[in-house]
Amino acid sequence: MIHYSENITPDSFSGALFAVEGVKDACTILNGPTGCKFYHSAIADSQFLRTPTFNPLEYTEGFYFGQSRIPSTYLDGEDYVFGSGEKIAKILRAAVRKSPGLVAVINSPGAALIGDDLGRFLAEEVRGIPAFALENTGFSGSFGSGYQKALICALDAVRRRGDPPDAGPAAHGGTVTGGGASPGIAHRKAVNILGLCIYQKHYAQNLSVLRQLLGLSGIGINAAPGAGDRAASLSGLGRAGLNVALYPEYSLEIAEKLKAEYGTPYLVPEEGPPVGFDAAEAFVRSVCRELGGDGRRALEEIERARARAYLYLSRFSSLLGLPRGALFSVKAEASVAYAVTKWLCAYLGMVPASVSVLPGGDAFFIQKLGAFLDGIRCRKALEAPVIETPAHILLADGNTIAELKLYGQRFCGIEIALPSLGYIDVTGKTLFGGDGALFLLEQILNGLRYVMV
């Protein structure tokens, strides 16, 4: 059977575009045909609102086509034969007039075959502004690989035009070991959050929850590159005492680079992103352990959310016995799939029908996920295709949910990733911490009432 949703999984090209679009004052120039532009521009604008209003008439100039984001060189047949240099020069001049904090030119896969010297055009047309060209994002690579490649290029570009890198922890008397922090940097209680991306569901509110939990623990967030910070923040990443590789699929290469350049150690949360009560508590404890923070107030906040969940769970379960025993499926990054699967099984007593890991999954969490499923004798869930496996609850992207609906399956779909079904989130929602656990629990309980009652 052909599963159409598998053919539209975002790849390294999309990852690179959304990485730069996650920098608040950056201009991402797409060197490619217009067909590569419209989706990425629309999603970037819907996920990350840079301006309070939008008037399409302000973007009728060439290259923008009525959209405020990701101007394109709209390559055609002649450009692939004779080159796109003239269009690149014009679009760079148009971009510079808007005074961005960073300019990036990213080739589409087809444009990468032309061989235009993008670096030369940047040197000629862009002065006084950090800029870089990404000629090849990696053909058919994973979203995470393109995302990290673009952010690393952005970091290097800002560094070339900015101040020398801040001294890392070792210069402040600390010692650096492996991927963990040392006691010597305990006085530098600030972290960089790595791996957050505007192409993630509820990324902004997720960051707010992390800021709240860490703030209650006496720990600040220095920067979250690619999740709404300005370009200038990239030059200050060395000021943090610890880098948190929240989604290792999108951040391990960046964390390794920062460790090599600044001497800053990094932490990969062992229970994955803080989805569910246990993972949220583990996140707080691990960061506090590395930086000497006091996590008691943050843990109390999570415990209050857990107590509220109990009130509703006890009543729901007393009538129907659910959610214990209900079948669920997950389609997500390996780190997210592990956190979600463990929480639903251990806390709610649900049973995994299918657990599908997206391409480019982190090896550490793939192994942990397999070991956990082995422990509950559900290893077969890793081999069961989401599309062909019936379940009561499906946590996935909107396209996968829509495809199962088209096949006539009866289930409740919960969006935890993009592409979206198009629901407009006016109020802030999160998947992280105690509030995120309550949000997911609310959808699960109401979904089970619809499916099973």
Q: What is the pLDDT of residues 113-154, one digit of tens each?
A: 788 889 999 999 999 999 999 999 987 899 999 999 999 999
pLDDT, mean of residues 162-186? 38
pLDDT digits (tens, 9 = 90+) for 297-336: 999 999 999 999 999 999 999 888 999 999 999 999 999 9
pLDDT of 60 reads 67
The rounded Cα 410 to chain-centroid distance in angstroms is 29
The answer, yes or no, to whether residue 177 has pLDDT greater than 90, is: no
Residue 451: the pLDDT is: 87
**Model confidence at 107: pLDDT above 70:** yes
* pLDDT of 352 higher than 50: yes
Enumerate the CATH 3.40.50.1980 domain ranges in the chain, comma separated. 4-161, 169-270, 298-452
pTM over 0.75: yes
CA angle 101, 189, 297 (to 5 degrees): 115
pLDDT tier, 178 (very low <50, low <70, confident <90, very high otherwise): very low
φ/ψ region of 133 (left if φ > 0, alpha if ψ in -120 to 50, else beta) reads beta
The 10s digit of each residue's pLDDT in 189-206 is 999 999 999 999 999 999
Q: What is the DSSP letter of 217?
A: T
Q: Do residues 32 and 110 touch, judged by C-beta distance below 8 A?
A: yes
Alpha carbon dihedral 413, 281, 245, 26, in 10-degree steps, equals 70
Amino acid 2: pLDDT = 58
- On average, the pLDDT of the chain sits at 90
Across 122-159, b (16+ Cβ under 10 Å) vs e yields beebbeebbbbbbbbbbeebbbbbbbbbbbbbbbebbb
Tell me what the mean pLDDT of segment 14-36 comes to. 95
The HSE-up count of residue 429 (CA atoms within 13 Å, CB side) is 20
Which residues of 35-189 form beta strands (DSSP E)? 102-107, 131-134
More confident residue, 318 or 277: 277
Contact 441, 340 (CB under 8 A): no
pLDDT of res. 56: 66
CATH number of 4-161: 3.40.50.1980
Q: Is the peptide bond before 419 cis (omega within 30 degrees of 0)?
A: yes
pLDDT for the residue numbered 92: 95
Element (H, E) at 30: strand 26-31
* Domain 169-270: homologous superfamily in CATH: Nitrogenase molybdenum iron protein domain (3.40.50.1980)
Architecture of domain 298-452: 3-Layer(aba) Sandwich (3.40)
- Tell me, what's the pLDDT at 238? 94
The pLDDT of residue 102? 97
| Predicted pLDDT of residue 77 | 80
* Rounded percentage of the chain residues whose pLDDT exceeds 70: 90
Determine which of 38-52, 162-176, 194-208, 221-235 has the lowest per-residue pLDDT on average: 162-176
Residue 366, pLDDT > 70, answer yes
Please state the separation of Cα 383 from the chain's center in Å: 25
pLDDT tens digit string along 381-440?
999 999 999 999 999 999 999 999 988 889 999 999 999 998 888 899 999 999 999 999
pLDDT computed for residue 175 by the predictor? 27
